[in-house]
Structure 1
Amino acid sequence: MTNPTEIKALVFDVFGTIVDWRSGVAREASAFLQRHAPSLDAFAFADAWRREYSPSMEEIRSGRRPYVRLDVLHRENLVKVLERSGIAGVTDAEIDELNLAWHRLDPWPDALGALNRLKRRFIIAPLSNGNIRLMVDMAKRAGLPWDAILGAEVVRAYKPSPQVYSETVDILGLAPAELCLVAAHNGDLAAARRLGLSTAFVVRPTEHGPNQKTDLKADEAWDFVVGDLNELASQLDASID
């Protein structure tokens, strides 16, 4: 287990851990579907779009495709979902606008207060598969108080590829254990732990909706296991004071 006093920076998974992607994408999709496919459910549409997320990145992780930013993948995936849903006649401008749904996601209720608490003692930054412009737009809209924007586009690789974690440690000039990944996804944390990072699991039991089956509990003895980000901030405060 990591000595909490060693931690100097916290990096965060964003989609699902910091922001509620499903509700945000469904909100943006709802108006679009009213125009083009009023019988379709906006949450089902958001889920279908998200299901393309990991397979599209795997093409890059595997080396079958050169790196492209997530905005590009999201747009390609959206076109696939539109075609599969039988939605035709959508203009490029409408597709581009709906693709920006991922830039306009709302944080979970605990996120802003906890991030501002943590920022007083630690460097805080996203370690997301989202590209830089996406992360900046989201942060400015939601008030996320990042010290830097880190993640996939910075290292031109997608989690859980090892270089995402190791190169982020190097960028921050830290030893691996001095950097703690905070995520609601056990797989992300497992990849970080293999590179020596500290780990914090925060449960988000409705990330995938009311019938979520995955990541409902910690699969390993992570350095921190918390119910929300305020609990993490309190534990880190107690370990340092």
Structure 2
Amino acid sequence: MSGLKDFLSAIPIGESRSPRRGEHRVRALVFDTYGTVCDFYGPMTRQFERFARERGEECDAHVMTVAWRTAYAMSCFQQAATESEFSPLRQIQRANLEKVMNEHYPAPVSPEELNQLTTVWDRLDPWPDTVEGLHRLKGQAIIAPVSNGNYIDMVNLARYAGLPWDIILGSSVAGMYKPHPDAYLKSIAALNLPPEEVCMVAAHQAELPYAAGHGMQTAFIMRPDEFGGITKPRDPEPGKPYLDAAEIYPEGDWTYITDSFIDLAEQIRQS
């Protein structure tokens, strides 16, 4: 088992579906974070470009950013699929970065430099609608990350980006990375709410069927600049994973479909 299709097929999807809009009250919203709440592409490409410039070297910052993010996603899928021992995400990111630098950077990089570069995950920029939208949503329901970021990753990012979470849920609660069922079910249990009153918000539709399968409401948000403007086509090539492209076309019967947290708050208010 080594490819995305293998990993995802090994992770069970429940038999429930997402409730229809307005069918149940939204009492909590839980969010994917990297790419959904915050922009990883811009901060990472700028960091790689600055790092190379200061050393008088050249690199393809786009390729390196996409490779690092893809390695992150595949590492989490693998852990969820194999139910292997839970490792801190910072450790995973650091190991993946070392491989990326070995493959794509033209010169040796010290352990200290790798450690410093890895901290960029603590300094991702919120999307323009994020902070205002989260505050609006917080006025209607509990808001929390259900992220593959661990407690400290989410605390550092929230402090940097001004994210007004009520509680931090996700991988550290479950001891599993998404989309393992525990990442959702243990987060829901921590809220003491039924799944149908919790809405999973994500820009990545590979994740949403798993949330829907547990009976959660789902919200797909389009983030067209997630990969610097590269988007997945309306008619994707069969079998191609498109881990390097933003999703802008709905591919499922999600409870909500939106292009901003501000709009999502209004949709929920009107439901």
The Cα of 1:91 is off from its aligned counterpart by 2.0
2:112 corresponds to 1:72: no
The Cα of 1:142 is off from its aligned counterpart by 0.9
Q: Which region of structure 1 is more displaced relative to structure 2, 183-192 or 51-60?
A: 51-60
Give per-residue Cα distances to partners, 1:77-125, cap 9 Å, x unaligned: 0000111125443222211110000110000000000100111121000
SS in 1 for 2:253: coil
2:225 corresponds to 1:206: yes
The Cα of 1:5 is off from its aligned counterpart by 4.9
Question: 1:195 and 1:139 mapped to 2: Cα distance?
Answer: 27
Q: Which runs of 5+ in 1 are unaligned?
A: none
Native 8 Å contact 1:160 1:191 kept in 2: yes
Give per-residue Cα distances to partners, 1:201-221, cap 9 Å, x unaligned: 111112122222252211112
The Cα of 1:170 is off from its aligned counterpart by 0.7
Specify which of 90, 96, 103 is matched with residue 122 of structure 2. Answer: 103
Aligned residues between the structures: 239
Specify which of 28, 32, 41 is matched with residue 22 of structure 1. Answer: 41
Question: 2:87 and 2:165 mapped to 1: Cα distance?
Answer: 24
2:222 corresponds to 1:219: no
Q: Which region of structure 1 is more displaced relative to structure 2, 188-197 or 29-38?
A: 29-38
The Cα of 1:146 is off from its aligned counterpart by 0.3
Specify whether residues 199 and 86 from structure 1 end up closer, same or farther in structure 2 by C-alpha distance, changes over 3 A only.
closer
In structure 2, what is the equivalent of residue 186 of structure 1? Answer: 205
Question: 1:238 and 1:55 mapped to 2: Cα distance?
Answer: 38
SS in 2 for 1:62: helix
Native 8 Å contact 2:77 2:179 kept in 1: no
The Cα of 1:237 is off from its aligned counterpart by 1.6
Specify whether residues 33 and 181 from structure 1 end up closer, same or farther in structure 2 by C-alpha distance, changes over 3 A only.
same
In structure 2, what is the equivalent of residue 138 of structure 1? Answer: 157
SS in 2 for 1:180: strand
In structure 2, what is the equivalent of residue 118 of structure 1? Answer: 137
SS in 1 for 2:82: coil
Native 8 Å contact 1:37 1:87 kept in 2: no
Name the Cα RMSD after superposition. 1.6
TM-score by length of 2: 0.84
2:255 corresponds to 1:236: no
Match of 2:113, as an amino acid? E
In structure 1, what is the equivalent of residue 70 of structure 2? Answer: 51
The answer to which structure has the higher helix fraction is 1
Give per-residue Cα distances to partners, 1:168-201, cap 9 Å, x unaligned: 1111000000100011111111110000000111
The Cα of 1:66 is off from its aligned counterpart by 1.0
2:169 corresponds to 1:150: yes
SS in 1 for 2:187: helix
Specify whether residues 4 and 106 from structure 1 end up closer, same or farther in structure 2 by C-alpha distance, changes over 3 A only.
farther
TM-score by length of 1: 0.93
In structure 2, what is the equivalent of residue 61 of structure 1? Answer: 80
SS in 1 for 2:206: helix
2:194 corresponds to 1:175: yes
Give per-residue Cα distances to partners, 1:38-68, cap 9 Å, x unaligned: 2212222211211211222233223373110
Q: Which runs of 5+ in 2 are unaligned?
A: 1-19, 233-244
Native 8 Å contact 1:201 1:225 kept in 2: yes
Specify whether residues 238 and 59 from structure 1 end up closer, same or farther in structure 2 by C-alpha distance, changes over 3 A only.
closer
2:112 corresponds to 1:93: yes
SS in 2 for 1:186: coil
Question: 2:32 and 2:83 mapped to 1: Cα distance?
Answer: 25
